[in-house]
Structure 1
């Protein structure tokens, strides 16, 4: 009835209704391409006398949850903050809105739009989304079908990955020190070695592991010899490598954990083992027991003798016997008596103490473990006050930015996230705090929280002084100029990105300034 009424209005020359389109393409159905969805939505809008005035897009994004879907997040934020200048959102079908495992989640996002006065229409469905019992029932069925499709697809993908693992092919992850990833074609012929962050581009190609450079192989074998024959600990080995200037395969200093990873990974003896951890359907990551591992022994050429590897595993098991909670607290109390203070680095450096990660896992947090041994961590947890101070500074900068842009003749409207602004209705600005911390070597290092707004046009980071009380400078960088690099990398490569650091936010205000146009004489 509503479609017929709208069509009659179009025939009578009524004003076109303003609408937005939301399109999403996941990696599982190429038939649902972005262009195909837009074509179908355009035809539907023409037939219904709608005018498409805005587009929200999530390309290559899973529909399992809202995280990472910047287009849908921006759509909801624009609607609920009354920025949206449209009455309708057109989506191709229910599955493009999302394949949420909890169907109530999908319904909640649609309800939020309706509550703000914007209705959702599905142009590819055989029902009208008019709130009738029939349409609500069909939507519930469609949402369940979309969720079930993801569950079935997850099972099929896992089975396919397991089959490839058993055939000896590598499934993701870096090669590791002393090894390299080799690309082979479907006939098993070698094509090329893959460098870090290089991936195959043909679906029929496969990846296997092969021995790497001789110097890296020598380092791996030296680590095993030091651990098994010399009886040294992971921490002692890591310190020796750092003192010699040897870095990991990721060009980073060695830590106890990185040494432990080499000593425990079966790829060094040629075994292909997978599914140590799983995170199916965007749920919480879980660690799997040995019965759920998928493996192919002898899949690759080994670079470590199996007998030495087994001895290393036996030594590691003997050294890291599972203490009870009470035993762990006794060791922690002795460590407190020895040093008079406690911290993660102190715990990790102690050879007779379990790593700090195990205390976090057993007691929920280090803070809880500290309290159980009678240690007041307030002096080490000054960061709680610092975090409050940083939030206050961020809010102050955001408010100042809005006021300054308004004063310059522009407009800045806050989006759903804390530090995200829409400026002059033309571009988005993401403002983040960059807290200063000292590295183990005493150098300052700036850390920025992960961006909630995906792909803003301009990235702004407030770099704090070493005491985290005053602002040092600002990073103001167009996203395309820094090539999508992680914000933390840009913040700490001062020389490489020197042109983007400023003492004030004036360059940002200048971007938003409106110039008066003088009439021609």
Structure 2
């Protein structure tokens, strides 16, 4: 093991009696960078200098290209900035473990933040002491540039290898698509075994090919394409139907609309392996590549879906992203209104040449807003997309208020807008939902139905119950996440016993007090 030189200088002596935190990170690099090897080298370094390691921060299986996803490093930097560090220095195996940041200034910045907080970063396996001297600064700069270049070179080599594998008709890696299975071949092309989910090839000379999977799964794939193409159902409707039938998704959980849409676009179901449709190299911004840059091998596996059905599915998918101006989209909508005398989202899905409802929502805020522009107004009970947009706005406003109060109390809160899940101090989670009023017969028979993601792993459910006209939040209901998860989808109404026994408040003050206790107990 390559350990730093032990030099009896003033710098080394000044470390005696210091308290340290160690930071270790491993992605998929060589065994020399295992967490245990790093810890052993750091322990040796600390023992020889009389340093006591009092805290450990570990990012396992995390890339060093940026700080996103590296919770331990973020927590370490946060502790230093917030004055919560009970140590004098940070011990890191080497410069690359601190990070292979593509911008070396970013790596230097995080070290500078620690230095500003009175905390020194020490690299235990480098051949220099990080003592602020000219020599150490030059060597650090070189090492940071080398760490970044290593990632760039590795990315290029991996991509070239994946292209070659794909052109030969082999599977480049990762799980097989739903309805397919991976078969492991030796270097002569002889079959070794079928790889199950989570299993990987162990020999570099082995290759993986795809084959058609169980009949039951292939039937589900066919039913998805038929529902989309022949019955004009949306991806959301298809996902809900599969969930109601108790069908497990490709990963064994619930089906989501994004999962269905990804399957509908996947050429593997007509036998083709295609890669490089999008680039996300070195975790930079995702870039959609033109077809001429795609790497493909047609006929790599027996088709599951007929080519005509697949092509029709692509036509329907493109309609949701039709390259029309706003006026052209409205003109087509107006033409449909003149022919039918009314409008609905179901009619949009069934009519060729008219964009899907999602296009109008994205451009005009709601489907009903687009309907109004062509002279048609839906009855209030049918304005689903408009109500959905209002519910989202209510949830976002509540989340923004909570985040502001949490930050004022010295905590940290992050809101997942898609899941409506609020995470406080990286460990306390809140599922936020709405109680929306619905008319049944007349205004006296109003019912409130709760819209919340009961599948979120949340400690608390916060339900924003609206007034009778859905104009403002009338009551804030606080329920346990466990109780919320027990509620069946069809029973998400405020008359349910789970919500009947919930804490009810006129404002968010009670919830803020709960958050303050959690922040204080961190």
Alignment TM-score, normalising by the size of structure 1: 0.69
Q: What CA distance in whole angstroms lies between the structure 1 residues aligned with 2:429 and 2:52?
A: 33
- Cα 1:391–1:316, aligned 2, differ >3 Å: closer, same or farther? closer
State which drifts further: 198-207 or 291-300.
198-207
Partner Cα distance (1:417, 1:105) in 2: 23
1:460 correspondence with 2:474: no
Q: Secondary structure at the match of 1:37?
A: helix
Q: Note the C-alpha offset of 1:40.
A: 1.4
Q: Which position in structure 2 is the counterpart of 1:472?
A: 478
- SS of 2:80 mapped into structure 1: helix
**C-alpha contact 2:152 2:282 (8 A) present in aligned 1:** yes
CA drift at 1:470: 1.2
Please state how far the C-alpha of 1:55 moved relative to its aligned partner: 0.8
Alignment partner for residue 390 of structure 1, among 378, 399, 404? Answer: 399
Q: Which residue of structure 2 lines up, in the alignment, with residue 446 of structure 1?
A: 452
Residue-by-residue CA offset, 1:158-193 (whole Å, 9 max, x unaligned): 12222222232334566455x221332425415236
Give the CA deviation at 1:100. Answer: 0.9
1:270–1:298 CA contact under 8 A, matched in 2: yes
Does structure 2 conserve the Cα–Cα contact (< 8 Å) formed by 1:347 and 1:353? yes
What are structure 2's unaligned runs of at least 5 residues?
Answer: 1-5, 378-384, 416-421, 437-447, 467-472, 489-497, 504-510
3-state DSSP class of the match of 1:150? helix
Deviations 1:317-369 (A, max 9, x none): 997895432423434566899999999x99667654324565688x6x85899
Cα distance change of structure 1 residues 127 and 396 upon mapping to structure 2, 3 Å threshold: closer
Q: Is the alpha carbon distance of 1:117 and 1:220 closer, same or farther for their aligned partners in structure 2, counting shifts above 3 Å? A: closer
> Aligned partners of 2:234 and 2:361: how far apart in 1?
23
- 1:65 is paired with a residue of what secondary structure? coil
Unaligned runs of 5+ in 1: 403-412, 423-427, 452-458, 477-489, 515-521
- Residue 155 of structure 1 deviates from its aligned partner by 0.7
With over 3 angstroms needed to count, the CA separation of the structure-2 counterparts of 1:237 and 1:330, relative to structure 1, is same
Shift of 1:5: 1.5
- The equivalent residue for 1:182 is 182
Give the aligned partner of residue 301 of structure 2.
Answer: 300
The equivalent residue for 2:170 is 169
Q: Is the 8 A contact 1:398 1:431 kept in 2?
A: no
* 2:187 corresponds to 1:191: no
| Counterparts in 2 of 1:47 and 1:385: CA distance versus 1, 3 Å | same
Q: CA RMSD in A?
A: 5.0
**Aligned positions of 1:399-414 closer than 5 A:** 414=411
Match of 1:405 in 2: none
Listed as ranges, the matches of 1:51-62 within 5 Å are 51-62=52-63
Deviations 1:183-221, CA, capped at 9 Å, x for gaps? 324254152363xx5442635565433223335545655
Rate the CA distance shift 1:436–1:282 in 2: closer, same or farther, 3 A: farther
Matches within 5 A, 1:74-153: 74-153=75-154
Check 1:143–1:357 CA distance in 2 against 1; reply closer, same or farther (3 A cut).
farther
What is the alpha-carbon distance in structure 2 between the residues aligned to residue 461 and residue 397 of structure 1? 16
Contact 1:23/1:56, CA 8 A, preserved across alignment: yes
How far is 1:75 from its partner? 0.3
**Counterpart residue number, 1:455:** none
Task: Give the CA deviation at 1:16.
Answer: 0.4
Return the TM-score normalized by structure 2: 0.69
Corresponding residue SS for 1:56:
strand
Pair 1:449–1:238, CA change in 2 (3 A) = closer
Conserved 8 A contact 1:433-1:449: no
2:329 equivalent to 1:324: no
SS of the aligned residue for 1:235 comes to coil
Q: 1:66 to 1:174 in 2, by over 3 A?
A: same
- The structure showing larger relative contact order (alpha-carbon pairs under 8 Å, at least 6 residues apart) is 1
Going from structure 1 to structure 2, the CA distance change for 1:239 and 1:373 (only over 3 Å counts) comes to closer
2:355 equivalent to 1:354: yes
Pairwise CA distance, 1:72: 0.2
